[in-house]
């Protein structure tokens, strides 16, 4: 019996975690995704360390793991670079890979080069976040599913 296209993973709600210390950026991301029906279950947080704990705890639970993580690199306390160091170690043990995009206002070439050192980073995306940027990320996601 053939699976209905509506029961396939391709049409499931994608999970997105946005790690950024700016409540304004959280608001903008949610607004754009909702306004343009870019189907994501969105979780925003400023606590990158908490996300590491979540990933470790749920590493075998594919249903809970995110499909996409958007990460700011310059945050107080536990920053994006520290997050990447820890994710790099646990990523191979996760039951479901995710796409990680660095989303930053930094235009420093050293930051871009530094990000390339992490295998788990899909790309470096510049703020401000816009509809066009999110559409491009969603298009990348869809083209990889085909």
Angle at 64 between CA 54 and CA 5, to 5 degrees: 160
**Cβ density class 39-75: b for 16+ within 10 Å, e for less:** ebebebebebeebbebbeebbeeeeebbbbbbbbbeb
Q: Summarize pLDDT for 92-110 with one digit per residue, the tens.
A: 999 999 999 999 988 999 9
3.40.1010.10, 3.30.460.10, 3.40.50.300, 3.40.50.2300: CATH of 5-145: 3.40.50.2300
Domain residues of the chain, as ranges?
5-145
User: What is the pTM assigned to this prediction?
Assistant: 0.85
Q: Determine if residue 37 is left, alpha or beta; phi over 0 gives left, psi from -120 to 50 gives alpha, anything else beta.
A: left
Whether residue 6 has pLDDT greater than 80: no
What are 21's two structure tokens? 């210390």
Q: Summarize pLDDT for 47-92 with one digit per residue, the tens.
A: 999 999 999 999 999 999 999 999 999 999 899 999 999 999 999 9
């Amino acid at each position: 019996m053939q699976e209905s296209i509506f029961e396939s993973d391709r049409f499931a709600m994608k999970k997105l975690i946005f790690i950024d210390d700016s409540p304004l950026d959280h608001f903008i991301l949610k607004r754009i995704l909702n306004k343009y029906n870019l189907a994501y279950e969105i979780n925003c947080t400023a606590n990158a360390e908490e996300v590491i704990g979540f990933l470790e705890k749920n590493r075998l639970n594919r249903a809970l793991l995110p499909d996409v993580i958007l990460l700011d690199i310059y945050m107080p306390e536990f920053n994006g670079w520290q997050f990447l160091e820890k994710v790099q170690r646990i990523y191979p043990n996760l039951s479901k890979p995710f796409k990680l995009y660095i989303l930053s206002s930094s235009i420093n070439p050293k930051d871009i080069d530094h990000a390339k050192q992490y295998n788990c980073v899909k790309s470096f995306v510049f703020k401000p976040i816009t509809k066009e940027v999110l559409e491009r990320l969603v298009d990348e996601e869809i083209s990889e599913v085909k």
